[in-house]
Amino acid sequence: MGELVFVGLGLHDEKGISLRGLEEAESADAVFIELYTSFMPNFSVEGFERVVGKKIHVVSRRQLEDENGKVVLDAAVRGKAVLLVPGDPLIATTHVALRLEAAKRGVRTRIVHAASIISAVIGLCGLHNYKFGKSVTIPFPSNFSETPYMVVAQNKKLGLHTLCLLDIDAEGNRHLSLREALEMLLTVEEKKRMNIVTNETLAVGVARAGSSNPKVKAGSVRELLGYDFGGPPYSLVFPGKLHFMEAEALIAFAWAPLSVRRFVE
């Protein structure tokens, strides 16, 4: 009986996978990869084929979602199949759907974890994990939504931080920029007038988490709108109340102005 092993690639490039993940790929009968649920700037399938020493089959969104992962599951019925995915597996709902499909076909599944953008951004900012509330994805302007603003509002009311992931269209090679994300929130502010995201609001922009040159910048929304973050992927954090140590971390590692100390509770 076969099995399907979800192996996380971690962040950024071919070296984010764990030693165990690499072993699983090396011992698999068939290795697949999907690269559309997150963006890994320096990842090359050819480079990774050299690391693993075998052919890796790239599966598209159409194959995984519209065709219910048939190509992967057929291989997993016959032997050991590995599906390599960006970040930590099963955080993307499409992986959960595939795992359910596997269970329906009687295929055993396992997970090999790796770094996720979620904990990476928290660590880079130096903010405390247990002070984050619900997180949210900010969509492209063509899918304008008030939801991210309302999530930030709900968290702020509770004194909590908000992690915002910025949408990507990996197959179209498009990335929502931090500027576009902030502008969408300011547009909602103009309508709602709840004083949640104004030009003066403190925010933290993060670019290329997990790379050797991540950019982490804390400042007012106005300041971030004019800041050059370099290439994607991007995340955005709206801090709530700050612990003393969180304020110092933003000053030391995110170029925050000393005035962030006024948010310390």
Give the footprint of a copy of itself on this chain (CB under 8 A): 8, 10-11, 13-20, 22-23, 51, 87-91, 93, 95-97, 99-100, 103, 109-111, 113-116, 118-120, 122-124, 126, 128-137, 154, 158, 160, 209-210, 212, 245, 248-249, 252-253
Residues 6+ apart with CB under 8 A from 64: 34, 72, 94, 98
96 or 199: CB nearest a copy of itself:
96
Of 2 and 89, which CB lies nearer to a copy of itself in the complex structure? 89
Give the residue with the Cβ less far from a copy of itself, 18 or 187: 18
The answer to whether the CB of 221 falls within 8 A of the CB of 182 is yes
Q: For residue 84, what is the DSSP state?
A: E
Smallest gap from residue 218 Cβ to a copy of itself (A): 14
Q: Compute the chain's Rg from CA coordinates.
A: 20
Q: How far is it, in rounded angstroms, from Cα 229 to Cα 227?
A: 6
Least distance in angstroms from the C-beta of 260 to a copy of itself = 14
- Nearest CB to a copy of itself, comparing residues 66 and 200: 66
Minimum distance between the CB of residue 90 and a copy of itself, rounded to whole angstroms? 3
| Minimum CB–partner distance for residue 184 and a copy of itself (Å) | 17
Q: Write down the least CB distance from residue 52 to a copy of itself, Å.
A: 11
Q: What is the residue type of 17?
A: I
Residue 78 or 134 having the CB closest to a copy of itself: 134
Phi, psi dihedrals of residue 175, rounded to the nearest 5°: -135, 125
CB-nearer residue toward a copy of itself: 161 or 222: 161
Look at strands 30-33 and 80-85 and give their pairing. Answer: parallel
Cα–Cα distance for residue pair 212/72, rounded to 1 Å: 33
Residue 98 to residue 75: CA distance in whole angstroms: 13
Least gap, CB of 139 to a copy of itself (angstroms)? 13
Query: HEC profile for 182-245?
Result: HHHHHHHHHHHCCCCCCCCCEEEEEECCCCCCCEEEEEEHHHHHCCCCCCCCEEEEECCCECHH
